[in-house]
Structure 1
Amino acid sequence: MSLWNKKNKETLLGPLSKNNPIMVQMLGICSALAVTSKLEPALGMGRSVTIVVAFANVVISLLRKGIPNRIRIIVQLVVAATLVTLVSEVLKAYAYDVSKQLSVFVGLIITNCILMG
């Protein structure tokens, strides 16, 4: 019996790829996958997601004690939507071509923030 037969390989590598729920969930919420055919839009989307998620977490962390539990998700949604709108406007002002290529996918960052929040 070989150490690297098909069954042992599948047992060893399965949890790292297709049977990894964390990786599957992260890929499921990653709207950047839709625009990664070229480097420039992919970098723009990556930066946008990083900026929005980071700032949304900072803002929500600062407001956490003052937000009642029953409206917390609404406040998170408003903060994420506001930051995505700001990022979208900055992209339109300073990187119009990238903004055109990203178009609808920038709005999906809101979904990412909600799912990760």
Structure 2
Amino acid sequence: MKTQPSTPGRPLEHPSRGEIRLEEVLHALADPQRLRIVHTLAEPPAERSCSDFGLPVSKSTTTHHFRVLRESGVISQVYRGTAKMSSLRRDDLDALFPGLLDSVLSACDRHLLP
């Protein structure tokens, strides 16, 4: 796993594009709360603080969801001061799995997210 640049002393591990595996991406997208996160990140602004999401789960569960998404290669995260900022790895996902992300987001719009 490569480490993304972040605040010194606080590196976050992310898989490189070549390390991203379809089964891990699908597992990450299999949870409704993680789908909400991905759906939100697909809209501007492209980078958001973890505190912006207001998920109806505990803080530790929210942290778990973001970690699953990051470690699977669906999102990237960096620290900006004390905020952990998240963004969708759309370019990587589109290059590896053409059409997957658009299909998932379209399904979210139609069925999962009001």
Please tell me the TM-score bracket, short chain as reference: under 0.3
* Bigger strand share: 2
* Bigger helix share: 1
The structure with the largest alpha-carbon Rg is: 1
